[in-house]
Every structure is written in structure tokens, then in C-alpha cells.
A = this chain, B = another copy of it.
Amino acid sequence: MKKNIIKAEQEVLQATRPPFSKIVTNLPPTVPFVPPEEMERRTGQSIHLRLGANESNYGMSPKARQAMEQAVSESYLYGDATTYHLRRKLADIHDVDPDQIILGSGLDDLLGLIVRTFLDPGDSVTTSLGGYPTFNFHVQGYGGILHTVPYQDFRNDLEGLAQKARETNSRILYLANPDNPTGSWWEADAISKLRDSLPDGCLLLMDEAYVDFAPADTVWPIDPTDSQVIRARTFSKSHGMAGTRIGYAFADKETIQAFDKVRNHFGVNRIAQAGALASLQDTDFQRDIIHAVSVGKEEYATLATELGITTLPSFTNFVAFDMGTPERATAAMDTLWNRGVFTRVPGAPPLNRLLRVSVGRPEERQEFAQIFGDIVPTLPK
């Protein structure tokens, strides 16, 4: 009897619950990444080498740090919703108009905004199978349909992507270049050819989070008058400001105006704006970081060779170790975790045999080399 009353009450509550949107209702529970802090809490394992999120363990420019420390005391004031000074500085550096630039609270935020601005529910999007999970998360979160093209030799298959976009009438073709999680890179000529083969009305969304680590003279020139291309970038990687949440993109003016119709205008925090502006001015620091990271990548490659493991060439701040099989890659990641080292293995084949390791500082790399050297002989064949 009591049970029935409780059940009846529950039904009343059920009836009044506001329904979620159709898209949200139909989505499975999912998160793009479980953060390492949460994994530490779940496993009871404390991490002392954080090499799994491609953060820059070198930190940020001292000038950026100082600018941010100073900005803290002013951050009782809202930041400038127009990000005026940053857009001017970026425009100056890249020889574009400030009206062709948008800032967001991280590149993830901009990916969501771009998807939202261009996609109607049911629209198709093309990306690589095993590409950036957060982009996929946004596409599904706005009701888009993902079409994927397998990597070829651990590189994005540009011809395959263009063909898939054509076949599926995709609204967006997403390309991470340099690529995450492989570290691979297509030079200007190849991208130019991809752009020329784009179906009419399909947007080429280039995620260039790691572009600062690629050879500068091979980067496809920016042309923000081309309404079919968006170049999205971030201060999280070479600028070492992942936790401050600030990213930017180049797009044509009309697209920027469309973003303005829906974006979270006061979303870019004041401290990040100050830090990003200062970081852009410290080109010496940037150059040093990019050099230091290239040294670290060489060290990782040498280490791998010594251990009989192949690495992929990388134009990013991480290296993908090809462990040969998914089982071996996962075992490596798990064993490293149990030794306090955070790395990642992508989920989709054939990338799931790659162990992705961020380039740490020299002392971190030394520690990693020692632990990795210990565990590799213990891994399943």
C-alpha cells in the first residue's frame, strides 16, 4: 500500500518534469574526455607526470604570467566583449582585418559555436575516424550526423575526406592540421588542393591548435575572404595557457557577424585576454618553446628506437608511439598510469595502437624514459 502511494507520487513528479530538447533527449550520456583529476579520484592513483593532455609543461611566457597576475586584481570588471586589443594584435600579426577574427573561451568553445552557426539538425559533417572527440561531441550535441573517413598511414586522407563530404552533402569538413592524435601534417599545396575540391557550400573547418609547431614556411596562407574556410587556433598549446581558456579563429566578415548573433559575448575572461595579448608580444619565448619541444620530440624518437618501438613524425607538441597492437598500447597506458604517468591511447582503430605522449620538460622526459624503459619489456607481445 505504502509502495503504491510512493509510486503514485513518483508518477506525479514524472509528469511535471520539463522535457529536454529533442536533441538532448536522444543523446546518450557521453563526455569527450574524462579529466586526469577525475581519473585520479576514480583509480586512487596520484599522477606526477602529466603527459596526456598535450599541455605545455614549460608553462607560459613570463610576460603573459605577469600580465595575468596584474589582471587578477582588475577582474572584478567584466572583460571587453569585443576583445578589441587582441583582435587588433592578431590582425596585425597575420595581416588580416580585425573584423575577420573571433575570440572564444578556448578552441573547444569556438568549435561548438561554429557547429551551431552552420549546422541544422540532421545535417552531415565529415571528419576522420578517430579525430578530435570534442568536435564530434559538438556535432552530435547540435544534432548533426557524423561521417568518418579512416586515417591512411596515420594521416588524414584528404581525398577521402573531400569525397565523403561530397557523397554525404556535408555542411562541414573538419580537419585537424597538424593532426591530433597522430601528429601528422599536410603542407600548403595539399591543403590548397583539398580546398579546391570542396563541394559547393561546404565549410572547411581547420583545427590548427598545433600549427605553431609546424614548419612555418609550409603553412597554407590565411585568406579570410574565403567564406568556405575557417582557421581555428588556440593559446592552449605553444602559448602554454590551456587553463586560461582562450582561442581564436579567422573567418570572413560575414561569418564573424553570424557568430555575433549567437555567441556568448562576455565569455572570454579578462585575465585570459591580458595574458594572450602579452604572450603574442613575447615572440622570443614562443621561438624558444617551439625549439625546446622539437628537441623533446627527437629525444622521444631516440628513446623509442632504443626500445624497439616506432614513433610517428610529429608537427605538434606530442609524439605518438606505435605500440603495434591496441592491447599493447592500452597495457602501456595502464601500466604507466599505475606508475603515476598520464598518457592517452585514442579509441578508434587503427589509432588505438598509438600511445600519445606530450613532450614534457627535460627532467620530465628523463623520468618518463626511465619508467617507460622499465615497463616496455613487461608488456604483452
Contact = CB atoms under 8 A, between A and B. Distances in A.
Contacts of A23: 262
Nearest to A172: B18
Contacts of A243: 71, 74-79, 269-271
B80 A227 contact: no
Given A41-B84, A76-B240, A201 B19 contact: yes
A261 interface: yes
B228 A18 contact: yes
B108 A267 contact: yes
A197 interface: no
Interface stretch (A29-37, A148-156, A208-216, A292-300): A29-37
Interface in A95-127: 105-106, 108-109, 112, 116-120
- Identical chains bound together, number: 2
Contact of A245 (B15, B80, B267): B267
A53 interface: yes
Nearest to A58: B76
Contacts of A69: 69, 72
Interface in A157-190: 171-172
A328 B190 CA distance: 63
Nearest to A53: B78
A119 B121 CA distance: 14
A307 interface: no
A241 interface: yes
Contacts of A236: 78
B261 A80 contact: no
A207 interface: no
A76 B105 contact: no
A271 to B, nearest CB: 6
21 contacts: A18-B228, A19-B118, A27-B262, A30-B261, A31-B265, A33-B265, A35-B80, A35-B82, A35-B266, A38-B82, A41-B84, A56-B76, A65-B73, A69-B72, A72-B275, A77-B242, A79-B243, A106-B266, A109-B264, A243-B271, A244-B271
Interface of A: 13, 15-24, 27-35, 37-38, 41, 50, 53, 55-60, 65, 68-69, 71-82, 84, 105-106, 108-109, 112, 116-120, 134, 141, 171-172, 198, 200-203, 227-228, 236, 240-245, 254, 257-258, 260-262, 264-272, 275
